[in-house]
Amino acid sequence: MADVDVPPGYEPREYPPFAVTVDLVVLTVQDDRLVVLLVERGERPLGLALPGGFVRPDEDLVDAARRELREEAGLSAPGHLEQLGTYGAPARDPRMRVVTVAYLVLAPDLPAPVAGTDARAARWVPVDSFGQGQRDTVPPLAFDHDEIVRDGVERARSKLEYTPLGAAFCPREFTVAELRRVYETVWGRTLDPRNFHRKVTGTAGFLTPTGRTTTRDGGRPAQLYRVGSLVTLYPPMLRQGA
Amino acid sequence: MADVDVPPGYEPREYPPFAVTVDLVVLTVQDDRLVVLLVERGERPLGLALPGGFVRPDEDLVDAARRELREEAGLSAPGHLEQLGTYGAPARDPRMRVVTVAYLVLAPDLPAPVAGTDARAARWVPVDSFGQGQRDTVPPLAFDHDEIVRDGVERARSKLEYTPLGAAFCPREFTVAELRRVYETVWGRTLDPRNFHRKVTGTAGFLTPTGRTTTRDGGRPAQLYRVGSLVTLYPPMLRQGA
DNA sequence: GCAAAAGTGTTGCTGTTACACCCATGG
DNA sequence: CCATGGGTGTAACAGCAACACTTTTGC
């Protein structure tokens, strides 16, 4: 209740200074698995962590996220970027007081390796490894990044229910089946191909037909689509039910 | 790309210092209107603003939110508190670089006046005043607080769809009709009393019957309920549809 | 009794599920 | 021709909207 409690308007430096960072939960679908981008830290605390870094003095938070995405993940045009949440427990970073604003990025599977201009090694890691249970393959992440990854995955799962954001995981042009496999991977369940097709093609604004077709998935040629103008899906597509 | 870009691990003070605040969007229902708590600022920039204040050096963000809620709103047991989002545009505060973490609070209509221990005058203001249209009654809020209020209201509206959080606006024991009026007020539409009753009483875990009844709403005595253990409502209750 | 509000029954609509079936390609 | 996946038709079912109707109080 001391001087930190007086109303704002005095000398800036009277208020406790914090470091502010952005961290990125970059998700994509690779080989029918939902994976998150992690980087190997060169400093203490060592280990794997989310890509991210300090916000600059005159930089907006979302701009910092976009910059880190470019610098650390080599991504300049993600499918989708949104704020996920802010994590600021006093001891979350052992070195100093850091408040981090986490951003969620949904990206298509990239043909080019995500090396980034940054020297740090980047890895895609399946998110199954972050459940409460088995942590066979991946050691715990640095800081509170395990929690942030879990929150990001849950956000992605629920966003697919009521937005057309599944397409953010797809290339610019994609088939209904490719989109369906994204949903199946993210939700960890199978969906009826016929009903899924009807749902997404029958909802006005979800998909924009290109008129072209492809046979890259085998079988009968499939229509190619781009994302439509729809923002929220009503009624939503629910992940449970079967 | 200068020194702010080196990996973490050096002197804390090499990183740009930010002030971090929490701001509160406290919503309640009064006289069939959804209202938000605002405080009159005594400092520049003058005008109405959200209650809030600086996070202390060793304080968790949510603890800061709870403390400000107690100090500035006189509320110690809100119905619900959750993180809303973080706002950090470089010029959002003309005095210094401030990143604020906004929290959303849903509170029952309080019999006691919300004065708070703080000296600042607190007012409840209908949120209709924050639409794109008419701003007859209320001048624009300080900083970016108009935007934060809009985001909070939208979050509250959608939360009522898929959680039982409408009860957070009600006293500890309430009738189905009282709960319905909360939904009607927050969503700005009428709901069929009979279908609403069936929905909330028929969903296991939504309500806990107390066994008691009341006639405070007139007419036939109504059962009194408390909130149940349910956390997410499946299937959701959708605000549109009629 | 009458007004008011609680609560139940019922019907039709909307949207989903499950699955039979046909279409168009590569081999 | 056959395997593979794309796409349509359809019937059973679930949940919801609309609304007639009964119940229980205050006045």
Domain boundaries, chain A: 3-160, 163-227
- DSSP H or E stretch at residue A146: helix A145-162
> A156-169, pLDDT tens digit by residue?
999 999 999 999 99
CATH classification code of B11-160: 3.90.79.10
pLDDT range class, residue A13, cuts 50, 70, 90: low
Closest Cα in chain B to A1: B56
- What sign for the dihedral angle of Cα B164, B168, B170, B173? positive
Fold exhibited by the domain A3-160: Nucleoside Triphosphate Pyrophosphohydrolase (3.90.79)
Best residue of B5, B14, B15 to probe chain A, by most A CBs closer than 10 Å: B15
Tell me if A195 sits within 8 A of A237, measured CB to CB: no
Residue ranges in chain B whose pLDDT is less than 50:
1-11
CATH assignment, A163-227:
1.10.10.10
pLDDT tens-digit series, residues B45-101: 888 999 999 999 999 999 999 999 999 888 887 789 999 999 999 999 999 999 999
| Cβ–Cβ below 8 Å for B43 and A9 | yes
| Contacts (Cβ under 8 Å, ≥6 apart) of A31 | none
Q: Out of A12, A19, A238, whose CB is closest to B15?
A: A19
Q: Find and give the residue nearest to D16, measured CA to C1'.
A: B195
Return the minimum-mean-pLDDT range out of A130-144, A184-198, B52-66, B187-201: A130-144
CA distance B60 to chain A (A): 5
Nearest to A86 among B93, B95, B101 (CB): B101
**B61, closest residue in chain A (CA to CA):** A88
Q: pTM for this structure?
A: 0.91
Q: What's the whole-number mean pLDDT along residues A10-31?
A: 86
> Rounded to whole angstroms, how far apart are CA atoms B221 and B240?
30
Reported as a single tens digit per residue, the pLDDT across A220-231 is: 999 999 999 999
Reported as type and span, the H/E element at residue A70 is: helix A61-73
Task: Name the closest residue (CA) to the C1' of nucleotide D9.
Answer: A194
Q: From the CB of residue B12, how many other CB atoms can be counted at a distance below 10 Å?
A: 15
What percentage of chain A has pLDDT greater than the value 90? 75
Burial of B139 (0-12, 13-18, 19+ CB in 10 A): exposed
Question: Please, are residues A107 and A81 in contact by the beta-carbon 8 Å criterion?
Answer: no
**Which pLDDT score, from 0 to 100, does residue A111 have?**
62
How many Cβ atoms from other residues are within 10 Å of residue B188's Cβ? Answer: 11
Rounded distance in angstroms from the CA atom of residue A242 to the C1' atom of nucleotide D9: 22
Instruction: State the pLDDT at residue A232.
Output: 95
A9 vs chain B: nearest CA distance in angstroms? 6
Helix, strand, or coil here: B149?
Answer: helix
Q: Output the CA angle A99-B87-B149, nearest 5 degrees.
A: 130
Do domains B11-160 and B163-227 share one topology? The answer is no
Contact B170, B224 (CB under 8 A): no
Q: Do A54 and B238 touch (CB under 8 A)?
A: no
pLDDT of residue A115: 59
Residue A235 CA to residue B149 CA, distance in Å, equals 26
Closest CA to A7 of B123, B21, B139: B21
